[in-house]
């Protein structure tokens, strides 16, 4: 066939203009992404195909292209040819697209394996025994407050209603003028039998006001066992009992909690909640399955005062935006166990506009990239749907891969969002998952660019080790 492939250079450069109505029955399947089989004895040129001719002799050491029509690769030793991609582009561009398609396909294969791991990781977490009995040491519960966020009163009440013998509640605001002050006083008055105090810390000189407030409460805390919880967290009555029992196990230095994200009326916050309850939680559980837990999640965690001091205390952690991750990582490096509690809390997101939500996503992405660079790159495999769409764009004949991806993504979302969290949003708004995955993928890509964030009205620069500077010079 090689002898028939060579043609004049002018013919190679000829621009073909072909409208859909002019495509004959043999060529049309190729132009629109369908596989074609060529039987033995039939020439590829009889179907107007571009052939990449594999060299067959010592004097035939180049690849040749005869027509700028759908590209195929001829497999030696077999009379059949599989169409790879439709194109009227120059051969070099078509080959680049083919290589990119193969690479995306390989990444998608890894992502589908990840979906299966998510289901296995959910099963592993469910097999843990639920511990509510055991040692019950007194606990100092510390909650920084800022502003009258929606649901704050009920969030606080859930911690005053704990079924636990002895604990104190420490609340902190910057000044008496903070809108959270009146709500905190009201809830404290409703539960006079629970020892509680409201502290005024003053305005934080550091960008991480949460750590500044925690340091002030730590100085007032009476007990060795500390539980830290964000103001937007709502807990079941057994949270303190479960965490205390898990902290009593041999070698445990820190206990952290999974959370179910609950969104307000904003569509953008609902999308983020879907992502947290499926994509993010899946990543946390897979990390636990493969490598153990060497991090902590900030909404709720328990640690002993002595262990906190060993990892540098709040004086050191105040330099980090993701202080919870750093705390858990350092506890693990001490040789102590970090446990993912069987207690699940509710993390209430409120409502955000598109701009605010995008800023939040980028802040989280850039902080994560600095905290764990290798893990951030590997996060690519948590986006099966965007990868499947890219593959189908490059190689339309591979559309069954998209169907398989949808099935496995649905299975992984059900394992985390429904089986573990019992999240009504995942059940009712499952059809929004593809849109959420695309938004999350875009935010992940954006996290590779830039090192500045805006947090609570301050412009910050995240350094390579995860710390940040209070001023960012553009």
Say yes or no: 203 and 61 in one domain: no
23 and 151 housed in the same domain: no
Q: Which two tokens stand for residue 300?
A: 């709720």
Look at residue 106 and tell me if it is in a domain: no
Does 84 share its domain with 136? no
Q: How many structural domains is the chain composed of?
A: 2
Domain assignment present for 195: yes
Report yes or no: 349 and 343 within 8 Å, Cβ to Cβ. Answer: no
Among 256, 243, 228, CA closest to 144: 228
Q: 3-state DSSP call for residue 198? A: strand
What order do you get walking across the sheet with 196-200 strand by strand? 196-200, 167-173, 139-144, 225-229, 300-304, 252-263, 337-350, 233-234
**Two tokens, residue 435:** 């849109």
- Answer yes or no: do 12 and 143 share one domain: no
Clarify whether residues 48 and 171 are in a common domain: no
Instruction: Tell me if 165 is assigned to some domain.
Output: yes
Does residue 119 sit within a domain? no
Mark whether 79 and 150 lie in a shared domain: no
Spatial separation of the C-alpha atoms in residues 410 and 403, rounded to whole Å: 11
For residue 115, being part of any structural domain is answered with no
Inter-residue contact 131 to 417 (CB < 8 Å): no
Q: Give strand pairing partners of 356.
A: none
Task: Tell whether 97 is covered by a domain.
Answer: no
Q: Are residues 73 and 195 in the same domain?
A: no
End residue of a domain, out of 38, 63, 88: 88
Domain holding 66, by residue range, is 1-88
Q: Cα angle at 268 between 265 and 269, to 5 degrees? A: 60
**Cα–Cα nearest to 277, from 46, 433, 83, 469:** 433
Examine the domain organization and report whether 7 and 70 are in the same domain: yes
Residues 6+ apart with CB under 8 A from 133: 245
Residue 113 lies in a domain: no
130 with 73, same domain: the answer is: no
Tokens 């009227």 belong to: 88
Tens place of pLDDT for every residue, the chain, 474 residues?
444 444 444 443 443 333 333 444 444 444 334 444 444 444 444 444 444 444 444 444 333 333 333 444 444 444 343 444 444 456 777 677 778 888 989 999 999 999 999 999 999 998 876 766 667 899 999 999 999 988 999 999 999 999 999 999 999 999 999 999 999 999 999 999 999 999 999 988 877 889 999 999 999 999 999 999 999 999 999 999 999 999 999 999 999 999 999 988 899 999 999 999 999 999 999 999 998 999 999 899 999 999 999 999 999 898 888 899 999 999 999 999 999 999 999 999 888 889 888 888 988 888 888 878 888 898 999 999 999 999 988 888 889 999 999 999 999 999 999 999 999 999 999 999 999 999 999 999 998 987 777 766 667 777 777 777 765 443
Q: Are residues 196 and 79 in the same domain?
A: no
CATH number, domain of 183, equals 3.90.550.10
Based on the fold, state whether residues 68 and 141 are members of the same structural domain: no
Instruction: Tell me the C-alpha distance between 186 and 460, whole Å.
Output: 35
């Amino acid at each position: 066939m090689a002898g028939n492939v060579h043609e004049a250079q002018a013919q190679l450069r000829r621009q073909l203009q072909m409208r859909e109505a002019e495509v004959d029955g043999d060529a049309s399947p190729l132009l629109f992404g369908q596989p074609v089989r060529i039987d033995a004895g039939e020439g590829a040129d009889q179907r107007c195909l571009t052939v990449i001719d594999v060299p067959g002799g010592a004097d035939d050491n180049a690849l040749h292209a005869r027509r700028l029509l759908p590209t195929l690769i001829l497999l030696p030793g077999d009379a059949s040819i599989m169409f790879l991609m439709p194109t009227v582009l120059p051969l070099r561009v078509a080959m680049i697209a083919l290589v990119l398609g193969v690479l995306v396909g390989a990444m998608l294969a890894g992502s589908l394996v990840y979906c299966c791991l998510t289901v296995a990781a959910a099963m592993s977490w469910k097999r843990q025994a639920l511990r509510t009995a055991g040692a019950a040491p007194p606990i100092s519960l510390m909650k920084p407050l800022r502003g009258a966020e929606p649901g704050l009163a009920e969030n606080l009440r859930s911690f005053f209603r704990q079924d636990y013998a002895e604990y104190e509640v420490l609340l902190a605001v910057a000044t008496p003028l903070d809108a959270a002050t009146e709500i905190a006083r009201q809830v404290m008055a409703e539960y006079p039998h629970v020892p509680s105090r409201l502290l005024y810390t003053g305005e934080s000189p550091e960008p991480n006001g949460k750590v500044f407030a925690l340091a002030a409460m730590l100085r007032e805390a009476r007990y060795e066992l500390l539980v830290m919880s964000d103001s937007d967290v709502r807990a079941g009555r057994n949270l303190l009992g479960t965490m205390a029992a898990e902290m009593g196990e041999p070698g445990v230095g820190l206990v952290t909690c999974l959370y179910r994200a609950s969104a307000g009326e904003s569509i953008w916050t609902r999308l983020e909640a879907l992502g947290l309850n499926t994509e993010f939680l899946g990543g946390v559980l897979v990390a636990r399955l493969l490598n153990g837990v060497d991090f902590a999640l900030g909404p709720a965690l328990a640690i002993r005062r002595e262990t906190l001091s060993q990892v540098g205390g709040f004086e050191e952690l105040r330099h980090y935006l993701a202080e919870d991750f750093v705390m858990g990582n350092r506890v693990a490096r001490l040789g102590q166990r970090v446990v993912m509690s069987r207690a699940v809390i509710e993390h209430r997101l409120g409502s955000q506009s598109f701009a605010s939500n995008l800023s939040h996503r980028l802040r989280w992405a850039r902080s994560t990239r600095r905290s764990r660079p290798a893990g951030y790159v590997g996060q690519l495999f948590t986006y099966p749907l965007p990868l499947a769409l890219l593959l189908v764009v490059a190689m339309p004949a591979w559309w069954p891969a998209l169907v398989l991806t949808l099935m496995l993504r649905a299975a992984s979302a059900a394992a985390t969002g429904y089986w573990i969290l019992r999240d009504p949003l995942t059940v009712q708004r499952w059809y929004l998952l593809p849109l959420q995955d695309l938004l999350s993928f875009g935010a992940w890509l954006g996290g590779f660019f830039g090192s500045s964030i805006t947090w609570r009205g301050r412009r910050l620069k995240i350094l390579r080790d995860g710390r940040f500077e209070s001023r960012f010079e553009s």
